[in-house]
Amino acid sequence: MATTPRGIKTTPSATAALPRIGMIGLGIMGGTMAEALLKQGYDVCGFDIQNKAQTRLKKAGGQAMANVGDVARHADVLIVSLATSAALASVTREIAAVARPKGKAPQIVIETSTLPMADKEACAAQLKAKGRTVLDCPISGTAVRIKERAWTVFVSGTQAAYRKVLPILQVFTDNVPYVGPYGCGTKMKFAANHLVAIYNVAYAESVTLARKMGLDPREVLKLFGNSPVLGTGVMRLRMAMMLERQYTPPTMKIEVWQKDMEVIGEMAKSVDCPTPLFSACAPIYTAAMAQGLALEDTASTAEVMAVMAGLPPA
């Protein structure tokens, strides 16, 4: 028997009726989603260019496919989680090249990547021409927070498609708002990550100030982390890493975050919106790259601030 997101036991026949999910991109987020779906009784097939990601899927009980086309051919619903626009363009072409078998319901593609709007729109247009419906569904939250059901999935596109995939997305979280026409999800994610970019650096600065004043920064987190006024989930996650000066395994790599910073900056510029605080944070992430922290968590911005403040390196 399987367990639904709300803890209701299902019969084998009910489980068999679940749509088969195709996962394209099995990195930190994609791999986590695949494992969560498998635990809830979904049949999951997937593909990633990294062999270790393919192996992770197989160990979890999923079926690793040889290429994107095979995933598109065998799945009822596709979930796409990619890091670059080039990857999305390539995957879109491969999905579009696969014709849906006769008698099969139209395929819905849940696109979860955080990428420029123009690239997301090009994906939707190309797949729509092939009879597929694409939902723009970026995720706010890190892989580790799926255990707390603390993700928010910003769903945008047609409401009919939203209703069809809602049970799938509720495997990950109860926070699955419909935010409007296609593209509104990405815009909402930009707004969220704009804040996170500032929060990361603000907390790094706060920890550094506490150390320079001779305070134990653990007391800062203890007193402020759960404060209804000052506390945030980002503070509790990232400041805890800053206190230990331990930034692996990363919940968000600096090098990936650089991509997010760039696309948010481009969006702000395109709508003539000044972002002075966001812009002031950008050099801190660039400095982290220069200090060899590209593969570390974004909490490692605290090490950049430590160097600036003359504190000994970790």
Query: What confidence score (pLDDT) does residue 10 get?
Result: 40
Chain region(s) in the chain for CATH 1.10.1040.10: 187-308
The Cα–Cα gap between 206 and 212 comes to 10
Label residues 104-124 b or e (16+ Cβ within 10 Å = b).
eeebbbbbbbbbbbebbeebb
Q: What is the CATH number of domain 187-308?
A: 1.10.1040.10
Chain region(s) in the chain for CATH 3.40.50.720: 2-181
Fold of 2-181: Rossmann fold (3.40.50)
- What's the pLDDT band for 16 if we cut at 50, 70, 90? low
Considering the chain, what percentage of its residues have pLDDT values greater than 70? 95
- What's the pLDDT band for 9 if we cut at 50, 70, 90? very low
Write out pLDDT tens, residues 96-148: 999 987 878 899 999 999 999 999 999 999 999 999 999 999 999 888 778 88
Answer whether 39's CB lies under 8 Å from 31's CB. no
The Cα–Cα gap between 200 and 216 comes to 19
- Max distance between CA atoms of the chain, in angstroms, equals 70
This prediction has a pTM of 0.86
